[in-house]
Amino acid sequence: MKKYARAVTLSVTAVFGSLLVGTHAVDAQSYPTKPIRLVVPAAAGGPTDAIARMVAESMSRGLGQPVVVENIGGAGGTIGMGRVAKSPADGYTVAVWHIAQATAPSLYNNLQYNVVDDFESIGRIADAPMTVVGKKGLAPGNIAELVGWLQQQQEKAVYGHAGTGSASHLCALMFLSAIKAKPTALPYRGTGPAMADLLGGQFDFMCDQTTNTTPQIKNSAIKAYAATTKKRLSVFPDLPTLQESGYKDFEVAAWHAMWAPKGVPEAALTRLRAELQKALKDKAVIERLAKLGVEPVPAAQQGPEPLAAHLKAEVESWAKVIKEAGVTAN
């Protein structure tokens, strides 16, 4: 009887196990079954928000479920990314963020998550060039005059940025370090509200992504002084770069990527990665990005492995820059 009972137990276990396998297979095939939350750790209306919404719209069609953007700004993106890190690892929460993911470890001593180990890499999206821009009525007429003016004005001049550690802040720090000027900083919770105040003439200049500055430059609502890229921007061929203006090796771009909490099932990750890469081949997305002076990264850089390697390299690279600048967010 004992042998028989043992055989029955083994049989029941085997059947139960096969049912679990079958259930997982069905879940994998049906994912997603509900809307996906896409967290943008910055204010609505900013450059990262614009890129995220373009990608979300395209991915929604491929996934057959809405990809709903949720803006959670503050603390250089660490509030939003912290919530993503602690979200259920079920494939229904993802984030689109940028270079600030790499700078957070050097800026925040009490960071509540590990930027590398607490996230799954979905893929790299695009590298947004940066531009140095000023309010419409700013006196300097070109980049050389702006540099001279800032060196003369020092703390009397005021620049805005999207918060400590943001792409606009880091770009401005590098620019100001290069020209040896120390104007007064005016931080905002995102470049959306910062741009609104620049348009209103509330401060003098800022360094911001083309996703945010292109429409305003084209409308002559702000003044464009220089691009932070090696080559001139196709969207603004007459705008000089800082490199050609005499600042050797000056290059800053706000790269954007998508992550999910650590531990998301492989089936969900595979689907999300595939749909993101489809979105980056979507003609509508490419055309909309191009109007903002942005292009999707090359296919070889879009996958999760290249993104993971890039993030680790950027963490190390920016640690040196931030240490030399003596900047901290704590």
Task: Match domain 129-227 to its CATH number in 3.40.1830.10, 3.40.190.10, 3.30.565.10, 1.20.120.790.
Answer: 3.40.190.10
Domains of the chain by residue range: 34-128+254-325, 129-227
pLDDT score of 301 more than 50: yes
pLDDT of residue 27: 59
| Residue-averaged pLDDT of the chain | 89
Higher pLDDT among residues 210 and 190, named by residue: 210
pLDDT of residue 327: 76
DSSP line for 53-121 = HHHHHHHHHHHTS-EEEEE---GGGHHHHHHHHTS-SSSSEEEEEETHHHHHHHH-TT-SS-TTTTEEE
Higher pLDDT among residues 300 and 162, named by residue: 300
Rounded to an integer, the average pLDDT of 282-298 is: 91
Least confident of 191-200, 223-232, 233-242, 320-329: 320-329
pLDDT band at 211 (very low <50, low <70, confident <90, very high): confident
DSSP state of 236: B
Per the structure block, which two tokens stand in for 32? 């997603």
How many helices (H) does the chain have, and how many strands (E)? 12, 10
pLDDT band at 91 (very low <50, low <70, confident <90, very high): very high
Specify the CATH class of 34-128+254-325 in words. alpha beta
Rounded to an integer, the average pLDDT of 229-239 is: 92
pLDDT score of 135 more than 60: yes
pLDDT band at 330 (very low <50, low <70, confident <90, very high): low
pLDDT of residue 313: 95
pTM of the model: 0.79
Q: Do domains 34-128+254-325 and 129-227 have the same CATH topology?
A: yes
Helix axes 78-85, 100-107, angle to 10 degrees: 100
Per the structure block, which two tokens stand in for 253? 């771009």
pLDDT of residue 12: 39
Q: By the 8 A CB rule, do 128 and 256 touch? A: yes
In 118-276 the beta strands, taken as DSSP E runs, fall at: 119-135, 158-161, 184-187, 205-209, 222-227, 253-261
pLDDT of residue 15: 39
pLDDT band at 13 (very low <50, low <70, confident <90, very high): very low
Closest to 94 measured CA to CA, from 127, 70, 126: 70
Long-range contact set of residues 301-306: C-beta below 8 Å, sequence gap at least 24:
301/124, 302/123, 302/124, 302/125, 302/276, 302/277, 303/123, 303/124, 303/273, 303/277, 304/120, 304/121, 304/122, 304/123, 304/269, 304/273, 305/121, 306/124
pLDDT of residue 8: 38
pLDDT tens, 19-41? 444 333 335 568 999 999 999 99
